[in-house]
Structures are given as structure tokens and as C-alpha cells.
Structure 1
Amino acid sequence: MTESANRMFRLQQAGGIDQLKMTEESIPEIGRNEVLVRVKATSLNYRDLALVEGNYPGRLNDNTVQLSDGAGEIIEAGPDVRRFKVGDRVAGNFTREWFSGKRMPEYIEPYGSHSDGWLMDYKAIHPEELVKLPDHLTYEQGAALPCAAVTAWNALKGPSPLEPGDTVLTLGTGGVSVFTVQFAKALGIQVISTTSSSWKEEKLSDIGADQIINYNETPEWGNKVKELVPGGVNRVVEVVGSATFPQSIQSVAPGDEIALIGVLSKTGENIDYYDLFGKASTRTIMVGSRDMFEAMNKAITAYNLSPIIDTVYPFEQAQEAYHHLKKPEFLWKNSYFP
């Protein structure tokens, strides 16, 4: 290696994008059971913005390197490493030690909040916390997978997987919703999507949404969903929260599932016990395990799927990328790379 420093962005403390500061530290030395990844791309999610602005509901350690999502090339491997080799293209799993099965209470250490994340040039990491990237994806596309894509895959293929011919409802045009549309169409699942504008309707139609509802024009869109699918949809991927949950309840078929993912809103109508009783089950999704990630990557390869990237920023412009995420015209995923 010719580089002598490891650039990184640390969040000094929550409170605003200006608290995100670039610094230079030594390139880490790896242990016998670790690999050194040259980070080629990282990706922003709404969670990352919430962390920076102090709106994240979970724990955040001060002065933590940000971002849960990253991809790169292994440039050094310890002598005891067997899972990967130098030259492999990899991405990190969102939750460090959730490899398979149910998410246990101890699996609560995602990158960027509890431990240093991926917004750096070089990352020393245990190989069990990595997955191999599909060969046809760029690093930017690969970096978009760990949080949003795995969440979408879990929503569709979790304990009660949807089947071809079933119908899923997605909300908006954020990363999870767009990945859900892409996966659903590849798997033969029908898609109804909501959005706020005609130009976003065109984008959703382009990636395969079968029916699109403009929620500004149709505020009671739960009733519209049941006009389109008598009885209701088989799954709602609920990425917003309190503000949309009542309409999500109206949209889902009795006995089917609302996958609870987002906390974009904190206010909305109060939900009564009998609003849920006899109507739908709910399942809270906290991204997914490494097994889910690897199963998803097999599907991405088999169906030749590619994440859609909104904008790519150079590493030094990390703060600008965060600001871009807040703009109304933001779509899909937002990546930048060193």
C-alpha cells in the first residue's frame, strides 16, 4: 500500500450535518482472523440522516465513524482467514453478528451508531461480518445493499414469504420501497405503490409498479387499494410510521401482514386495539441476517437485478450528500465513494 493515512468521517455528536468531520488516522493493522477492506463505496440511508440530526431512537456513541453500508475490495487477509481471499469484492452485513435465525437481543450493534461504520478509506473487519458481492454489480451498487435491500428482501421473504400472484403495497420512493418493487416483480408478485407526484409515478412505473396511487390526490388511499385488490393486499411494507399506519391497516387483507420498518413520522391518528383485531398481523423488521443477505444476492444474480443510484458524490463531499438526501427530489439511493 502506498497510502499512509486512513480518511474517515466521524460524527462528533448528534445535532446536525456540520457535526460530521473528516479526519485522518493510521491505516489499521489486522489480526490473524481479520481482513483489511479498501472501501470503494458507501451508501446513505434515512437512518444515517436521523443519526446525524439527533432523531435516531436508538443508542449513538459520540465520535463514531458513520454509515452502516459499505463495499470494497479485500487487500489483506490474516493467516487464519478462510472465508475470503485477497481481491474478493465484499459488502458488510448491517448487524455485525446476526448470521442466521431470529434476531436475538444481543444482535443490536449496527455500524455507525454502536461501532465505527464504513465512511472511511480502509476498514479492518472480521470476515464473518462480510458477504461477497454479485459479480455484475459495481461497488456503488453493492454499497446500496446492506440496509435497504436486505430490509426489503426480509419484508417479502421472511417467515411468511409471499408467492407469485400475491400483492404487496409499497409507500413512496425511498430505498426500501424501490428495492421491494424490484424484488417483487422479479418474483412474480404484483405491486401497488403510493407516491406524491406525477413524475415519481413515472419512475415507479418504469421499474415495474403495476398500480400507482397519488396520496395527495387520494388521501384515503386505503379504500382505493381495496378497489384495486378486493379484500386487500397480502403485505404492506410500512416505511413511514404513525402518519400512514391507519391507511396501511385499511389496505391489508384480514390475516395478512404489515411489515413495520419506518419511523419517518412520529405523529398520526391514534390506533385502537380493535383497529387491528381480526384484521392483520404486524412484524417489526430490523434489516436482516447474513443468511438473508446471501440468499438475496443469489436472487440478484439469478434475475440480473441492479440497484438504482440517485447521485454519486466524491468522498470529501460527504456533508453535501447528506444535504441531498433531504431534498424533495431525492430518489432511490444516494452513494458516494473515496
Structure 2
Amino acid sequence: MRAVVVRHPGSKDPVEVADLPDPGHPRPGEVRVRIHASALNYHDNIVMADPTTTVGHIPLADGAGVVEAVGEGVTELTPGDSVVARFFPTWHAGNPVIDHFGTTPGIGLPGYAREIVVAPAAQFARAPRGYSHAESATLTVAGLTAWSALMGDRGIKPGDTVVLLGTGGVSMYALQFAKLAGATTIVTSSSDFKLERATALGADYVVNYRTVPDWGDHIHKWTGGGADLVLEVGGPSTLPQSIQAVRIGGQISMIGVLTGVSGEVPTGDIDMKQLTLRGVLVGNHEQQREMTRAIEASDIRPIIDRTFPLEELSEALRYFTSGTHLGKVIIEV
């Protein structure tokens, strides 16, 4: 079967196309899935750029396809089902139970940059009705992260104001989920073109953080006291502005570290504003089912920027890391 593997981790061109043996028939508790699409995420580039990544590792955590066969004891999936991958196969419901990526396909386990996967049935869930494989592939990471960030914990409610940093896959899903919940949405970006696109997609207000560097104070004033929730994707460089943008008693859902994994934090402001700063690491199986039900009951569709064939994964990575995309970059298998 065709696959893309990490052959030169940490190099300028870390992956190459390979012909791997067919994984065969599923054993008890497993399913055989033919993968049709994947999508790129920030962590995928980290994995392939890491010189310690195992040579031969199969990347990509997003995956969608069709069940070809099921092993003994599998009842939740049947041959012919369209399915989407789960990020944490062992986290079924409730509070977080895992703080590492050792069981995550594409990071700790072989991922979905390949034609066929034989794996435990818990790695997959039914895809939303009416979604293409490319659309479903965007749900594993971006869709579920956006859903968990907005709907998890105390969740947003109609009339709330939500600030969404950037126009990547998570933020564009969050824009649609927030509008579905009846919230007012504010989107930030350094690109006026992307902000125009975000407005066309339903953003109520947009801010260019290049021309308005104190965007946190700007949003605080525009909202008349601050937003109810900020979707924080940047990390240390943007967190102080997010704290300024949110209201007293508001919430910041931190889902990314695009500007680094450590830095100064204005703890006094967090304390005085009595904020909830909540780390979000994708989500669990029950949250994925809730998200799927919401998608099927609405007209929400992922924003897909460009599609590349599996053989052009290296080119797709270069495009993705350039930051010019809006929404998701798809890998077609």
C-alpha cells in the first residue's frame, strides 16, 4: 500500500513516499479502514521537524475513510461505514485522563498518511451524515478542539461574545459553532483579506492585530466590558492581550502555543479579573459524538483552503507552514 513515512526527521524535506505491506485482516476488536483523506495540523509539522522522531514513522493524526472489515467483537462499526479518526482512542468521556500523545495516531502511534489502517475500533467513530471524506478528516483535531474549547466546562450560551484568534482550522470551526450557539463573534488576524473572508463567514467584528497592536484593550472597549470567552491559540505572546480582552469572570480557552511553550504570564491580571484559564487538548469520544450531532442538525461545513495528493505531502507542509491558508489544508489519499 502507498504511504508517506518520516525518512529524514528534522531535515528540510523529512518525508518520502513508500510502498508498505498490506496490514491484512483485523483481529478481534479491530477494524480495517481504507483512508481517503487527512488534514494538516500544527503538531504534524512539529513531529516531522523533530530530529528524534523515529525513522519510518507514519505521520498525520487526522483521518477519514471507509470500514472494509471488522474483527470479532466489534459491534459499533460495520463494513461500509464512513468513519473519522479519534485523537485520544482511550479517552471515552468525563474529565481529562491523559497528558501525553503516546496513544495518539500520527504522534505516538502510526498515523493516517497511508491507504489502509488496521487498528482497534476505538480509534474511529462514525462520520457525520452528508460529509465528504475530506470534510470529515478536519474533525479529528480542528473540529473537536473548537467544540471542546467553546462547549466544554461551563460552555458558551446565546448572547455571549467570543473572541477567536486567527483564521486557522480551529478558529474557523469555532466561528461556526459560536454562531450556532447564538454568540457574537470577533475574529483577529494580520491579514485584511482573511478578515474579509471571516466577515463573509459570519464574523460580527474583526480586528487586524498588526494595525491595532493593543487589540485586547480595543476589544474590551468595543464590547463594553470584555468578551465572555477568548479562544487563545498563540500562547505567551498573545495571552496578555487575551486577558485584557476578556471580561471580569470570563474564560480563556488555550488551545495552542504558536508563539512558544513558555513565557511571562500576567498572573495579577488573571487574579484581579477572576478569570478561568482553561487548557484544551482536543477532546474525548462523548464530545466528538455531541459535535457530530450538532453538525448533522445544522449546515456547518469546514473551511477547506487547498487539497494536495498524498504524494505531495512535503509541498503541502511548506504551504501550511507559510501561514497563508485560511481554514484547513487537506491531504487526499
TM-score range, shorter chain: over 0.9
Of the candidates 87, 90, 108, which is equivalent to residue 94 of structure 1? 87
Distance change (3 Å), C-alpha of 1:65 and 1:17: farther
Give the equivalent residue in structure 2 for 1:135: 129
Alpha-carbon deviations, 1:299-334, whole Å to 9, x = none? 011012111111111121111111110224211100
One-letter amino acid of the structure 1 residue matched with residue 309 of structure 2: P
Q: Which structure 1 residue ranges, 4+ long, deviate > 3 Å from structure 2?
A: 59-62, 105-108
The residue number in structure 2 matching 1:33 is 29
Q: Secondary structure at the match of 2:219?
A: helix
- Looking at structure 1, the residues matched to 302 and 32 of structure 2 have their Cα atoms a distance apart, in angstroms, of 25
Matched, 1:45 2:38: no
**Residue matched to 2:295:** 300
What residue number does 1:241 align with?
235
Residue 170 of structure 1: SS of its match in structure 2? strand
Question: Contact conserved, 1:33 with 1:78, CA < 8 A, in 2?
Answer: yes
Instruction: Look up the match of 1:225.
Output: 219
Please, which of 59, 65, 71 is the counterpart of residue 64 of structure 2?
A: 71
**Partners of 2:108 and 2:15 in 1: how far apart?**
16
Contact 2:87 2:141 (C-alpha < 8 Å) held by counterparts:
yes
Q: Which runs of 5+ in 2 are unaligned?
A: none
Distance 1:155 1:267 in 2: 19
C-alpha displacement at 1:194, in angstroms? 0.6
For 1:1-338, list aligned pairs within 5 A.
6-12=1-7, 14-29=9-24, 30-54=26-50, 60-105=53-98, 108=101, 109-266=103-260, 270-279=264-273, 280-338=275-333
Please tell me whether the aligned partners of residues 255 and 278 of structure 1 are also in contact (alpha carbons under 8 angstroms). no
Question: CA separation of 1:269/1:195 partners in 2, compared to 1, >3 Å: closer, same or farther?
Answer: same
TM normalised by structure 2 equals: 0.95
Most deviating of 101-110 and 127-136: 101-110
- TM-superposition CA deviations, 1:103-152 (whole Å, max 9, x none): 21376422111100111000012122211111211100000111011000
**Counterpart contact for 1:41–1:337, Cα < 8 Å:** yes
Measure, in 1, the Cα distance between the counterparts of 2:100 and 2:280: 13
CA distance in 2, matches of 1:100, 1:14: 34
Change (3 A) 1:328 1:113: closer
Q: Helix, strand or coil for the counterpart of 1:277? A: helix
Q: How far, CA to CA, are the matches of 2:110 and 2:48 in structure 1?
A: 14
Check conservation: 1:60, 1:114, Cα contact below 8 A.
Answer: no
Equivalent pairs: percent with the same residue? Answer: 32
* 1:61-92 C-alpha deviation (Å, 9 max, x unpaired): 44321000000000111232111110000011
* Counterpart-to-counterpart distance in 1, 2:12 and 2:140: 23
Structure 1 stretches lacking a partner, 5+ long = 1-5
- SS of corresponding position for 1:156: helix
1:162-220 Cα deviation digits (max 9, x unpaired): 10110110011111111110111111111011111221111100111100011111000
CA distance in 2, matches of 1:17, 1:330: 20
Amino acid at match of 2:219: V
Contact 1:17 1:52 in 2 (8 A): no
| One-letter amino acid of the counterpart of residue 48, structure 1 | D
Partners of 1:235 and 1:91 in 2: CA distance: 28
* Mean CA deviation greater in 123-132 or 151-160: 123-132
* TM-aligned CA distance change 1:124 to 1:268, over 3 Å: closer
Residue 278 of structure 1, CA deviation: 2.4
Q: Compute the RMSD of aligned alpha carbons.
A: 1.7
